[in-house]
Amino acid sequence: MRKKKIAVKALYHILVIVFGLIMIYPVLWMISGSFKDNAQILRGTLSLIPTEWKLSNYPTGWSGFGGTTFLTFFKNSFVVTTVATLGCVLSSSLVAYSLSRVQWRGRRFWFTAMLATMMLPAQVIMIPQYLIYYRLGLVPGYAPLILPYFCGQAFFIYQMMQFMQGIPRELDEAAKIDGCSKYRIYSQIILPLLKPCIVTTVIIQFYWKWDDYMGPLLYLSRPESYTVSIAIKLFADSASVTDYGAMFAMSSLSLIPVFLIFLFFNRYLVQGIGTSGLKG
Amino acid sequence: MNGNTAVAGKGRLYRFIHHDNTVGHIFALPFIFGFVMFSLIPILMSLNYSFTDFSLGTKQADYIGLQNFARLFQDEVFGKSILKTLQYVLISVPLKLSFALLVAFVLTRPTKLVTLYRSLYYLPSLVGGSVAVALVWKQLFARRGLFNAIALSLGLPKVNWFGDAALAIYPLILMSVWQFGSSMIIFAAGLKEIPVSLYEAAEIDGANGWQRFFRITLPMLSPIILYNLIMQTISAFMTFTQAFVITGGGPNNATMLYALNVYNQAFKYNKMGYACAMSWSMLVVMSAVTLVIFKTSRHWVFNEAES
Amino acid sequence: MKKNRVIHVLLTSALTAGLLAGCGSSAAPSAPADQTAEQAGKAEETAGEAETEQEPAEESAAAGEPVKLRMAWWGSQNRHDKTIAAIELYESLHPEVTFEYEYYSFDDYFTKLNTLVASDQVWDVFQLGGNFPMYMDKIHPLDEFIASGVVDVSKISESNLKTTQTTEGVQLGLTNGINTYGIAYDPQLFEEAGAVLPTEDWTWEDYQAAADKITDELGIFGSSTFLNSDFIAGCSTFIPQQGELGQYSFFNLDLTGMGFDDPAMLAPYIQMRADMIAHGSYPDAGASAEVTNIENDFLVTGEAAMTWVAVNQFPTIYNVCQEQGRTLALAPLPRVEKDGNAGATIQSSQMLCVSEDSEQKEAAAAFISWFENDIDCNNILQAERGIPANEDVRAALSANTTEGQKIMYDYVDRASKLPMPEEYNVLSPDGQNEVQDNYLNYIQQVASGELTAEEAAQKTYDDASAIFK
């Protein structure tokens, strides 16, 4: 009996690991590419071990362009991403609360509007949006990259609404009888119970913002203000020479912050099912 | 249900502040502001463009009535792109969600290694549409790539993935399924929210693993499933990067996803007006699909708050 | 009720200001109500706003009005570093001029340019390539500066100047590098396969025969493909190669219609291309998709014996192949008839232009002139953008060229001595991209038997003439 249990356990671990390695093969390939020269990368070998280790990709890539190094780009990315993520969590939870827990006129309309914001392709909204930020005098600058995140992001508003549905309404009712206002119900009951959802928002939003390059491309102009995502693209040009090694090196480095954020916040998601769940 | 009874007898200002209409508006204010400024106005501008021959680079745009919309019906590429996009959505979304749910569920077992495992499975989602991943993806499916090497060693014929119009979409679908990380994390958070007491009760009642999954996990998770379904459907409709960097829409437009088509019309062929008309037509299709999902959701989504 | 609303507003704003500092503070200058009905022509006022922003903030110590120039280009790391070094040299020579420069990859550059066009903020000095007809409204012609002597064209030949002129002779910019198409090939592979080497006057039949032979003997592609070269260097060159010199061209000279009447003139080329794909001597759609960059072109990877090149790309692939121990050569485009027209033309790879939005047009033009003509500057740039149009610069640079560059210089010399029509088109009409993409799809359909070459020729002709409707 016990033997069987161990066998099942071992099988579980082996399957998960083997499959996981297949999953991350392309990522490993990119990281190994950061130690290869262009010829090795482009020859299309699928081997992960470079025939010749080229460590110089890192210093070459890090030196950036015309004196602006990746230190600057990483700093910029970090500031923009952190502020936008904070803004997104705060504003999205506010909006989600109003749409899921408060009975007000216009609720349905705004809910529909929220979903609609995600259905028009960025390609046709891009130019009009640019014109608006431009009229507001916010271009070039970081404001257009951050401001919208303080206005709630549909993806996360809706996500939080769905999580709030799982919170029993009796909690609200009980709090109301105790004399709690809606404002206090939000901050003292709903928000704490929303923790897992907020953690996922932070993980996902941080990565999205970190990876976003259309925004920085449109709204930043001086190279010193570029973010990592657009700096990486500066290595590539289809019509001339692209230093793939340096590009992969910087791409690999740019994975580190998002991965650390994931590792840090993931702890809150793995404490086992329901151990800190609802006590309703 | 209105919060007004509880605050009866207090001052007018107090009553106003705590009236549901006020509370709702105040909490939703960031969104209302952002929506009007950064979504509504651009959306209306694009609607306006869709009735013109607006092209970037030139200043003069003339109203041409419904001509852009009429053209859509004669545009072979547009017709093809709609069909291909539907195929992409219908295959990739269910696959991605089942996979994300499966992995999230398997990785909730309270082992110390779960953090490591989950990182392993989340990592692919962190590389997004990076050039490196596009390159490796291309090479995996290339004529001499890994998949063909495996096929050859198994004695199967070589497959020309990106050259065969019937097959070219599958590498793109696979790439989308591969990046299931964000859905997985949302599922993981949802699983964590399910009260452990429910499982304990079920165990006492003698329910086995499968019964617990279908009787407790799935219904309790259904609002999150609905959420992931809607969001992934919308984002699958909007998929752009994979097609742009891997196939460029080819061969013979077999991977011309709708967002790529819009991009080409707007920027490559310089027909912004037509691109806007395209987007608006697709908006109608997408709203219809979303509405259908919502309507059917009443039958399968379990709502804790209303029960 | 009214009072309530006021309180509502006050409360609302107070709360949001407190909760969401970022959002509340910028809420004030909201967009004008008529913005929804925004029409492109209305944007003049914004140009005014832009001017005030561009006013140089600090006084320069040097004599002369301080000038701040905004400039942008696309390219890769190498070009970015070289161009920035050249700009810094200019700044040191002209202390009153400071630059704010931006650089991007090709696609990003045009995305960014499009938004700047929409908001009338195009950089003072900007780079444009073959797609410049799309931005004609934003280009400030250089003629007045040439007349006043700000821009020096004395060392640039008439034909090189022509590469960046409209059909009416308006000078849109100065080319950064003159360019033409050719076929790069590996003679070693030709010999191994026993194929006949290209000559100065080889025909498309020779080309096809060599390619097929190489495929049969070596099992590799006879020719590779790169992006859209097949349309520009192949299909659209095929037309002027027929008839008398200057009788036909793909588009007519003033870009108002087609330059030939009979779609059947295209059919042989399309048939050849489809036959080659069917034979395996030219990449099909799947294989073409694997070529992402000039450096992993099948010629470079050894999977093909020749490929199309815009000749400014030749030194790059020459060097890469040299590292592998292979020596490439450069042949002219094949012709329809051995003694017929060459059909090749000298073009501009890219040019620098002054923008119509610029407040510093003269300073911008002066910089462009320096960038074009100054030998020190071009010693930094090292002809990375193509062959310099200025004779003196070319002479100075050719003193220390690499082998690949030398082949390129010789090739362009020979190409420019070939008989060319009095007038030819250096421009392509806005809309050519769509014709090109459709054309490539038609070829695939011919190869798979869905269309005949005649039908594909007719469809391509119809697509192209639709541009002018």
pLDDT tens, position by position, C60-106: 334 568 999 999 998 877 888 899 999 999 999 999 999 999 988 88
Residue entry with tokens 């499966």? B102
> Residue A55 and residue A71: Cα distance in Å, rounded?
19
- Give me the pLDDT at residue C34, please: 37
Of C124 and A179, more confident = C124
B22 & B79 share domain? no
Spatial CA neighbour of B82 closest among B305, B288, B228: B288
- Give me the pLDDT at residue C426, please: 67
Using a CB–CB cutoff of 8 Å, tell me whether C154 touches chain A.
Answer: no
> What are the beta bridge partners of residue C70?
C100
Give per-residue pLDDT as tens, C277-297: 999 999 988 888 777 777 778
B256 & B188 share domain? yes
Quick one: angle between helices B114-126 and A244-266, nearest 10? 140
Q: What is the mean pLDDT of residues C142-171?
A: 89
In this predicted structure, the answer to whether residue C460 has a pLDDT above a threshold of 60 is: yes
Q: How confident is the model at residue C46 (pLDDT cuts 50, 70, 90)?
A: very low
Q: How far is B49 from chain C (nearest CA, A)?
A: 9
Q: Which of C19, C38, C115 to mutate to test the interface with A (most CBs of A within 10 A)?
A: C115
B139 & B34 share domain? no
B144 & B250 share domain? yes
By percentage, how much of chain B surpasses pLDDT 90?
A: 24
Kindly report the CATH number assigned to the domain that includes residue B85. 1.10.3720.10
B247 & B128 share domain? yes
Q: Read off the tokens for B54.
A: 């607006």
Sign of CA dihedral C155, C158, C160, C161: positive
- Give me the pLDDT at residue B80, please: 92
B33 & B133 share domain? no
Does residue B55 lie in a domain region? Answer: no
- Give me the pLDDT at residue C25, please: 31
- Residues in C touching A217 (Cβ below 8 Å): 104, 108, 111-112
Q: Which helix (H) or strand (E) holds C102?
A: strand C97-104
Using a CB–CB cutoff of 8 Å, tell me whether C46 touches chain A.
Answer: yes
A touches which chains (3+ CB pairs under 8 A)? Answer: B, C
Per the CB < 8 Å rule, is A118 touching B235?
A: yes
For A190, residues 6+ apart whose C-beta sits below 8 A from its C-beta are A93, A97, A101, A164, A167
Per CATH, the number for C181-344+419-466 is 3.40.190.10
Range among A28-32, B75-79, C59-63, C327-331 with highest mean pLDDT value: C327-331
Q: What's the total number of domains in chain B?
A: 2
Q: Kindly report the average pLDDT of chain A as a whole number.
A: 85
**How far does CA C150 lie from the centroid of its chain?**
26
> Residue B238 and residue B181: Cα distance in Å, rounded?
18
- Residues in B touching C40 (Cβ below 8 Å): 54, 58-61
Per the CB < 8 Å rule, is C36 touching B13?
A: no
Measured CA to CA in angstroms, residue A261 lies from A154, A254, B128 at distances of 22, 12, 16
Q: Which of A238, A243, A244, A250 to mutate to test the interface with C (most CBs of C within 10 A)?
A: A238
Q: Kindly report the average pLDDT of chain C as a whole number.
A: 81
Q: Which of B31, B46, B114 to mutate to test the interface with A (most CBs of A within 10 A)?
A: B31
Is the ipTM of this structure higher than 0.85?
no
Where do the domains of chain C lie?
60-177+347-399, 181-344+419-466
Q: How confident is the model at residue C132 (pLDDT cuts 50, 70, 90)?
A: confident
- Give me the pLDDT at residue A196, please: 85
Q: What is the mean pLDDT of residues C37-56?
A: 38
Using a CB–CB cutoff of 8 Å, tell me whether A14 touches chain C.
Answer: no
Using a CB–CB cutoff of 8 Å, tell me whether C11 touches chain A.
Answer: no
Per the CB < 8 Å rule, is B38 touching A44?
A: no
Give per-residue pLDDT as tens, C317-359: 898 899 889 999 999 999 999 888 888 788 888 899 999 999 9
- Give me the pLDDT at residue B307, please: 42
Q: What is the DSSP string of C9-34?
A: HHHHHHHHHHH-HHHHHTTSSPPPGG
For B51, residues 6+ apart whose C-beta sits below 8 A from its C-beta are B63, B64, B65, B66, B68, B273, B277
Q: How far is A13 from chain C (nearest CA, A)?
A: 37
Cβ count near C91 (within 10 Å): 14
Q: How confident is the model at residue A121 (pLDDT cuts 50, 70, 90)?
A: confident
In this predicted structure, the answer to whether residue B94 has a pLDDT above a threshold of 90 is: yes
Using a CB–CB cutoff of 8 Å, tell me whether B34 touches chain C.
Answer: yes
Cβ count near A195 (within 10 Å): 16
Using a CB–CB cutoff of 8 Å, tell me whether A223 touches chain C.
Answer: yes
Q: What is the mean pLDDT of residues B67-93?
A: 92
Give per-residue pLDDT as tens, A125-178: 888 888 889 888 888 899 999 999 999 999 999 989 988 887 888 888 888 888
Q: What is the mean pLDDT of residues B134-146?
A: 79
Give per-residue pLDDT as tens, B109-121: 666 777 788 888 8
Q: Read off the tokens for C233.
A: 């260097």
Q: What is the mean pLDDT of residues A112-120?
A: 84
Q: Which domain holds residue B16?
A: 1-49
Per the CB < 8 Å rule, is C35 touching B41?
A: yes
Does residue B307 lie in a domain region? Answer: no
* Span between the terminal Cα atoms of chain B, in Å: 15
In this predicted structure, the answer to whether residue A97 has a pLDDT above a threshold of 70 is: yes
For C278, residues 6+ apart whose C-beta sits below 8 A from its C-beta are C447
**In this complex, which of B25, B125, B283 lies closest to A104 when CB atoms are compared?**
B25
Domains of chain A: 71-234 (1.10.3720.10)
Q: Residue ranges of the alpha helices (H) in chain A? A: 2-33, 38-42, 57-62, 70-101, 107-116, 122-135, 143-146, 154-165, 169-177, 182-184, 191-193, 195-211, 214-219, 228-233, 244-266
By percentage, how much of chain C surpasses pLDDT 90?
A: 39
Does residue B259 lie in a domain region? Answer: yes
Does residue B143 lie in a domain region? Answer: yes
B72 & B45 share domain? no
Angle value at C-alpha B237, between B232 and B239, nearest 5 degrees:
90
Give per-residue pLDDT as tens, B213-222: 888 888 888 9
For B28, residues 6+ apart whose C-beta sits below 8 A from its C-beta are A94, A95, A98, A99, A104, A110
Q: What is the mean pLDDT of residues A223-229?
A: 90
Chain A with chain B: Cβ pairs closer than 8 A:
315
Give per-residue pLDDT as tens, B1-21: 444 444 455 688 888 888 888
Give per-residue pLDDT as tens, C47-62: 333 333 333 433 333 4
CATH topology classification for C60-177+347-399: D-Maltodextrin-Binding Protein; domain 2 (3.40.190)
Could you tell me if A273 and A66 are in contact, meaning their C-beta atoms sit under 8 angstroms apart? no
Does residue B305 lie in a domain region? Answer: no
Q: Read off the tokens for C160.
A: 């090189």
Q: Which of B27, B33, B191, B285 to mutate to test the interface with A (most CBs of A within 10 A)?
A: B27
- Give me the pLDDT at residue C35, please: 36
**In this complex, which of C38, C40, C117 lies closest to B60 when CB atoms are compared?**
C40
> Residue B179 and residue B119: Cα distance in Å, rounded?
13
